[in-house]
Amino acid sequence: MRLHSKTSWIALAACAALAPSALAQTDDPGRDIIVVTGSATPVEYEKLGQTLTVINSDLIEDQGYSYVPDALRQVPGVAVSQAGGPGALAQVRTRGSEGNHTLVLLDGIDISSPDQGETDFSTLLSGDLERLEVLRGPQSGLYGSNALAGVVNLISRRDIDGHYVGVSTEAGSFGTFQLQGNAGFGNGDDYAAIGFHAVTSEGYDVSPDTAAQGVPAVGLGGKADDKEGNSVAAAYLRGGKAINDMFRVDGLIRYLNKDSNLDGQAYNDPIPGQTYDDGTESHHKQLLAGASATLSLLDGKWITTGSASYLDEERRSAFTNFPFLLPGQIPTAADLDDPALPSGADATRTKFTLQSTYEFGAPGFVNYVTGFVENKKETYNDPFTTRDESRELTGIGGQYRGEFAEQFYVFATVRHDDNDAFDDADTYSVAGSWVISGTGTRPHASYGTGVTNPTFFEQFGFSPASFTGNPDLVPEESEGWDIGIEQTLFNGLAIVDLTYFEATLENEIYTTYGPAPDYFSTPANRTTKSDRSGWEASFSVHPTDDIDILGSYTNLEATEVANTELRRPEQQGAIDASWRVGGGPLKLNLGVTYNGEMLDTDFATFMPTSIDPYTLVRVGASWQVNDTIELYGRVENVTDEEYQEVLGFKGAPQAFYMGIRFREEKAR
């Protein structure tokens, strides 16, 4: 990232301060890359003690990662599970955590569902992202609730010195079509950008079963041409302006809409635990707006940012009553076609943050002290009942960052959250990085605590009435640490990092189920601890200017009450490679994703059942016709492997895609 002036640093600080921020491992051999996650202010990646992976836009584009969760499958320590096709719920589990233990930010703003407490990653498209920053380990000291296991920060392009415009379109298997467009201009300090990204697909039948105890509309072939289609679109506008050398403003607005067709899953006879073709559907809308104002004094040594954000979300789902029929009853075609059971929520989050950082010291001994305070209010309304709730949180904290002898870097963060609806929380973290001069060796380590607050659903319940909330829940708590070593080899042509981690979870919120046929359920806090440990390995190799090879491997042990946690593979790995042949117009791409054996719940018995390991291979190629036009194509799941990420929901079969990109970019 090229920085143009002091004001560009202020712009980065504004981005980071929209919500306090994370840290340390990258696919870029250049150690001077600036990151905004893990630290209260932007910082060079090598100075971070926490573990951070950066996925840049080139990798996302080369591999055809239209959806953010597809890119996250390549990150060490991150497990992705999706219940079927692209429109189905996609969850991310960081280092063996739960799906709501990873905080998701867009340019520093929390975009998780205010009522569910987590982000459905199937709503996240990659259009016009400059990079993803993925931080692992407990980070609530800086970010508060939901950063119990890590942070995913989606970073948009802001460093614009000139103008750019781009349009791309793609079509392929399952009637898939996508269109993307963006444009921006700026002078290095001031900028404005606009864009959209839309994907639609007819989908495929995600039910793996062909028949089940005489039920006529179950699984593949059970219902003619049954497919689980999906459409998702996002549009945004963002900009920033330096009023003068000391003061600037930044802002963004984004609108998201997703509509999906899904398959149901039965919990009773005659097909307990199996998926079936029906009229289940879901709809998701989200409006996000954020703004910040940054004041820089004392020649940039004292930077203060005030920010505000607002998120408004509407979710609706409708499914058949088949899962709740009495045992032995066989649904009619009308039962399966008519989604008679609605659910959903309207929820909002309003947040105000004030953060101030003061830099002092001398060359070789530089200190940064940051104080921050935030106020967050969330509201929840169930449109199908009279349920209408709200809650408020006030957080205050600080961070110290020190740089010593241009090789030792330390962080210490502390935070107190005052919650009006449940117990208060105190969290903290410490981290260190040692860049050993002249060796290419960098040991790093961190220790921290994290919390995740109960969700509105968990506290108060929702439609259908088979779920009863628990207002006495307390926040989940975790503490964890990691230690690793990064080694740069061959004058920067390769980087290898190996990190070991451990974490313990207390007060885990889980769901208890009653007996058949109703299976009434309610959440509770566990009285036992859950343990996670393992190691992550990653490497990046750039043997020539035309070849890039990235890889990762994770070995995980995650247990609770003597059982292995669900949907967390013990082993997983990935490789992404690209080769611009002879430096010419042809570029070849290869991607491999391995997901080891894991457990999931069989809803016929409510017992853990093994899911087989799988390996997915994708290949692609692109041809740069001229400076502005590029043709490309790819094949996903080359070997047409049959696999499941969630028990009972079939993964995508072999697929082919082709597209064209137009882009023009000129420097000022």
pLDDT per residue as tens digits for the range 611-636: 999 999 999 999 999 999 999 999 99
Distance of alpha carbon 615 from alpha carbon 595, whole angstroms = 6
Q: What is the per-residue pLDDT for 232?
A: 97
Q: What is the per-residue pLDDT for 328?
A: 66
The token pair at 628 is: 């502005």
Q: DSSP strand E in 122-175: where?
A: 129-136, 150-156, 161-172
Looking from the CA of 26 toward its CB, the CA atoms found within 13 Å total 24
In which band, very low, low, confident or very high, does the pLDDT at 2 lie, cut at 50, 70 and 90? Answer: very low
CA separation, residue 551 to residues 24, 74, 120, 131 (Å): 16, 8, 26, 17
Q: CA torsion sign, 604 to 607 to 612 to 616?
A: positive
Distance of alpha carbon 66 from alpha carbon 553, whole angstroms = 23
Distance of alpha carbon 622 from alpha carbon 339, whole angstroms = 43
Q: What is the per-residue pLDDT for 605?
A: 80
The token pair at 228 is: 């689980």
In the predicted model, is pLDDT for residue 471 greater than 60? yes
In the predicted model, is pLDDT for residue 342 greater than 90? no
The separation between the first and the last C-alpha atoms of the chain, rounded to the nearest angstrom, is 16
Burial (Cβ within 10 Å: 0-12, 13-18, ≥19) of residue 437? exposed
Q: What is the dihedral of CA 25, 28, 32, 35, to 10 degrees?
A: -60
Distance of alpha carbon 121 from alpha carbon 111, whole angstroms = 11
Give the residue with greater pLDDT, 143 vs 335: 143
Report yes or no: 13 and 356 within 8 Å, Cβ to Cβ.
Answer: no
Residue among 478, 376, 449 at smallest CA distance from 114: 376
- DSSP calls for 51-64: EEEEEEHHHHHHHT
Question: By mean pLDDT, which of 66-80, 85-99, 323-337, 420-434 is the weakest?
Answer: 323-337
pTM of the model: 0.92
In which band, very low, low, confident or very high, does the pLDDT at 269 lie, cut at 50, 70 and 90? Answer: low
Amino acid at 318: A
Question: By mean pLDDT, which of 161-175, 195-209, 245-259, 621-635 is the weakest?
Answer: 195-209
Residue among 527, 544, 440 at smallest CA distance from 486: 440
Name 232's bridge partners: 199, 258
Q: What is the per-residue pLDDT for 278?
A: 79
The token pair at 465 is: 């009435």
Residues in the chain: 668
Mean pLDDT score across all residues of the chain: 89
Phi/psi for 118 (5° steps) reads -145, 170
Residue among 400, 407, 481 at smallest CA distance from 443: 407
Percent of the chain with pLDDT over 90: 72
Give the residue with greater pLDDT, 205 vs 390: 390
Give the residue with greater pLDDT, 213 vs 428: 428
Residues 6+ apart with CB under 8 A from 601: 566, 607, 608, 609, 647
C-alpha 398, offset from chain centre: 25
Report yes or no: 100 and 455 within 8 Å, Cβ to Cβ.
Answer: yes
Average pLDDT over residues 521-547: 94
Q: What is the per-residue pLDDT for 31?
A: 56
Q: What is the per-residue pLDDT for 264?
A: 80
CA separation, residue 68 to residues 25, 39, 230, 450 (Å): 19, 23, 16, 24
Q: What is the per-residue pLDDT for 513?
A: 78
Distance of alpha carbon 114 from alpha carbon 379, whole angstroms = 7
Q: What is the per-residue pLDDT for 301?
A: 96
Q: CA torsion sign, 77 to 83 to 86 to 91?
A: negative
Report yes or no: 277 and 336 within 8 Å, Cβ to Cβ.
Answer: yes
Give the residue with greater pLDDT, 192 vs 459: 192
In the predicted model, is pLDDT for residue 222 greater than 50? no
In the predicted model, is pLDDT for residue 489 greater than 60? yes
The most confident of 384-393, 596-605, 619-628, by mean pLDDT: 619-628
Q: What is the per-residue pLDDT for 229?
A: 92
